[in-house]
Structure 1
Amino acid sequence: MRWKNLSEQTVYENRWFRVNLADVELPDGHHLDHYLIRLRPVAVATVVNEANEVLLLWRHRFITDTWGWELPAGVVEDGEAVAEAAAREMEEETGWRPGPLRHLLSVEPSNGLSDARHHIYWAEDADYVGPPEDAFESDRREWVPLKLIPDIVARGEVPAANMAAALLLLHHIRLG
């Protein structure tokens, strides 16, 4: 059954997202008002080194008041290629410049509410270029053994579903 978005109007907008109200027609012909969030694409990156360790951020999310492991991420700027944005975010948030990036996966973390698409990349090497510009984004940056990832995810230490999916896929690819 397909729902039809007949029209949308913006009710709030800033540089990161828009909140729209849609007139949705259901398969039985009824209509409902549905709020949705329109977001820019998000670029995510990490590196897995020769020792099969993955570079992670330990950070607090004030919205949920939780701590957890994450990958460096941010919105893709106008005119910026997604892979370039992923490399930029990794360097800004960790101080490590990734080598050639490989696309790992793209996910829609909340497709019942938002059109957000997260594009996740990884590299097999990186160069340390200095302290992160955006050090305020995480409490610490650590190289975590990939072999520990399934247990870390199972304990809830990677609360973001997109990050958990990416880390479990990297674990499978490298240690599978």
Structure 2
Amino acid sequence: MTEWTVHGRRQVYGSPWVELWLDDVDIPGVGRVDHHVLRMPKECAVTVVTDGEGRFLMLHRHRFITGRWAWELPAGWIEPGEAPATAAAREVEEETGWRPGAVEPLTGFDAMSGISTMHFHAFHATGATPTGGPVDRSEASRVEWLTEREVVGLLTAGEVADGASLAALSYFLGPHRLAAGRAGPSGK
């Protein structure tokens, strides 16, 4: 298999949040086609926040685009010049009202690599101290510390619908934990 060749591109729409481009690509075995590409001007950070008691900090919110209530992790844009870990900590505090302790990288991933440049940096933050409530109250209807059993139940019931949250939690509970040789977030 060879790589696709891009012969040109033109912007169809642009804003500070999203751009839509039409790329003229040559697909081996198919030929030249116009391919839509969503370009995201900023990368994103998503954070799994755990405490020393095996609980996870999560948000419950409604997403008007999907018309669905679901549980999510704190996440948001990385501003120009901002370190991804700094953005992760900022987003946790703004969205939850909890200031995270140590913030360590987990993994990175492309959310929709077949059509979008959206890239996420996933982090694990340990410990958190309350700061008096979320700065942006529009982010969630509830902010709660949930046990690992509750989080796994939400994951298996489809109550974590956000792709970034699903990916970060799955990575944390699976490969991250296995690589560290731990059975649970507190090493139990």
Q: Tell me if TM exceeds 0.5.
A: yes
1:66-113 CA deviation, whole Å, 9 max, x = no partner? 111101111111111111111111110001111110111211121111
Which amino acid in 2 is paired with 1:33?
D
Length-normalised TM-score, structure 1: 0.94
Contact 2:46 2:164 in 1 (8 A): no
Query: Aligned residue for 2:35?
Result: 34
Q: CA deviation at 1:148?
A: 2.7
Query: Aligned residue for 2:15?
Result: 14
Query: Aligned residue for 1:25?
Result: 26
Q: Within 5 A, what are the aligned runs for 1:91-106?
A: 91-106=93-108
Provide the secondary structure at the position in 1 that maps to 2:159. coil
Cα distance between partner residues in 2 of 1:49 and 1:29: 51
Change in 2 beyond 3 A, CA 1:29/1:62: closer
Cα distance between partner residues in 1 of 2:93 and 2:146: 18
Which amino acid in 2 is paired with 1:10?
Q
- Which of these residues, 124, 128, 142, is aligned with residue 140 of structure 1? 142
Greater CA drift, 2-11 or 90-99: 2-11
Q: Within 5 A, what are the aligned runs for 1:1-176?
A: 1=1, 2-28=3-29, 30-39=31-40, 40-172=42-174, 173=177, 175-176=183-184
Q: What 5-or-longer segments of structure 1 have no aligned partner?
A: none
Length-normalised TM-score, structure 2: 0.88
Which amino acid in 1 is paired with 2:183?
L
Q: CA deviation at 1:147?
A: 2.5
Contact 2:46 2:168 in 1 (8 A): no
Which amino acid in 2 is paired with 1:133?
V
Q: How many residues matched?
A: 176
Identity of aligned residues (%): 40
Q: CA deviation at 1:11?
A: 1.2
Cα distance between partner residues in 2 of 1:170 and 1:73: 15
Cα distance between partner residues in 1 of 2:58 and 2:168: 12
Change in 2 beyond 3 A, CA 1:102/1:33: same
